[in-house]
Structure 1
Amino acid sequence: MKDNNWILIVDDDADLANLVADFLEMNGYKTEIEHNGAKAVERIIAEQPMLVILDVMLPDMDGLSICRAVRHGHPGIEGSYNGPILMLTALNNDIDEVAGLETGADDYLAKPVRSRVLLARVRALLRRKPEPPVTEKLSKLHSNNESLIEFDGLSIDKKYQRIQQHGQDIELTTAEFELLWLLASRPGEICDRDSISDYFSDLGYESSHRTIDLRVSRIRRKLGDDPSHATRIKTIHGKGYLFVGD
């Protein structure tokens, strides 16, 4: 059986796909390229690569449809794909970012892609599920470790990109993790949307107020924080968001 220790790049632009593949391989990753969207669905589900880099604009089957198909099933193909999907688009607006996140993408980058930003996103997505040291204890209300934040059963570990709530792992996308980390690192402080957008811009994201609201909504759902009576991440109308500590 073929191992899945490789990244599949789905892009009809052969030159760009080869540049991305060469850069990733220079940094220690094995890659394969697929130019055909319909064939990409079959390969992703059948071969289960460790990560998929997926272009939105493809001539035969667009990236959003591919993402939806591999996440939720496709006629005539058994199975699905639960690994990380990083979507790329040349469109300079937030519509595709929102659509991509809603169809199951884990992260999003707008073209032209900066190589080191791409590498950082790939590394972050691939380290989402590492096993921390078995001696690690999540007991203090707030750790002195600058990479670990803890509040009343919620643990946010930046080093391992890991979220736990009452001992249970919570799966967040890279962007959702960064947003939760930003809010949780400022408990009791209102973070306005413009400041959040600036924070994400420094990380290489294109971020709008709409995508921020969407990510907060998704974080709340995953944490079980009722949006109509949120107790962890509160909406301060006309201002922004406030993370409630203990």
Structure 2
Amino acid sequence: MSDPVPVTILLVEDDEVIRRSVAMALERYGYRVTVAADGLTGLELFRDGGHDLLLLDVMLPALDGIGLCRRIRESSTAPILMMSARGDALDVVSGLEAGADDYVVKPVDTAVLVARIRSLLRRAAFVPQAAAPSDPQETVAGALVFGDLSIDPAALEVRRAGEEIALAPTELRLLLEFSAHPGIVLDRQSLLRNVWDYGWDGDTRVVDLCVQRLRKKIGADRIETVRGFGYKLRR
């Protein structure tokens, strides 16, 4: 039996010391790491293909991490983890709005970094089927239908007015979680546990920004904000 193919990570970081230390740490965990020192080189390596996950610094020469993330999201739903030196709210929000799935703050604790990477890879490799909703608006040939929105949990397909929508793995898992509980308010911490697979308290901004991205794709009025509590999918 052949050995499993190692996961390949594209690490884009301009600081040589951080780049080497992070790459070595990930390689010790069995990952294959490709490195780039600037955003344009990172973009070229990404286009060459073969990367399972991208780890991007925010502050990069030539093309910064936010711009690189946007360029990648034009053609790929690969998991993206951003690194911010300051944990600055603007950096975090900008990265998540650009399409990143999660972020870590430098200096990066290796155990936390690997845990986040594993969580993102699980989401990308396996999106669990949503449980049958208690009272969906309509069910057609295995798909759940909410107005012009059709969700097929088995085929992992989402359509709006008949047009298929391309969702990143995290966005799809979030929508499946909502569709399993239509009309029920889901708080941010439960969404972090069930969608982001966090075994600890995470930053709820990742939930808010992912909801924003999802709304743009499925319709702004489909997911309702319940102030002080969380979100719910309209029936």
Kept in 1, the 8 Å contact 2:225–2:232? The answer is: no
Q: Aligned-pair RMSD on alpha carbons?
A: 3.9
Kept in 2, the 8 Å contact 1:5–1:30? The answer is: yes
Pair 1:240-2:229 in alignment:
yes
Residue aligning to 1:42: 44
What amino acid is the match of 1:206?
D
Residue aligning to 1:7: 9
Pair 1:206-2:203 in alignment:
yes
Kept in 2, the 8 Å contact 1:184–1:245? The answer is: no
Pair 1:87-2:82 in alignment:
yes
Select 1:149's aligned residue among 131, 135, 149: 131
Counterparts in 2 of 1:88 and 1:205: CA distance versus 1, 3 Å: farther
Select 2:27's aligned residue among 22, 25, 49: 25
Counterparts in 2 of 1:37 and 1:204: CA distance versus 1, 3 Å: farther
Structure 1: unaligned runs, 5 residues or longer: 73-79, 139-147, 155-162
Instruction: Return the offset for 1:111.
Output: 2.2
Pair 1:116-2:111 in alignment:
yes
Give matches, 1:70-81, under 5 Å.
70-72=72-74, 80-81=75-76
Pair 1:67-2:69 in alignment:
yes
Deviation string, structure 1 residues 177-230 (Cα, Å, up to 9, x no partner): 47975x78988765566x57997886464344xx543322334455x3x433x3
What amino acid is the match of 1:68?
R
Q: Distance in 2 between matches of 1:64 and 1:198?
A: 23
Deviation string, structure 1 residues 92-127 (Cα, Å, up to 9, x no partner): 332222222232323222223222221122122223
Q: Distance in 2 between matches of 1:120 and 1:192?
A: 23
Helix, strand or coil: the match of 2:131?
strand
Structure 2: unaligned runs, 5 residues or longer: 137-142, 145-150, 159-166
What amino acid is the match of 2:230?
Y
TM-score (norm 1): 0.64
The count of corresponding residues between Structure 1 and Structure 2 is: 206
Helix, strand or coil: the match of 1:52?
strand
Q: Distance in 2 between matches of 1:164 and 1:180?
A: 9
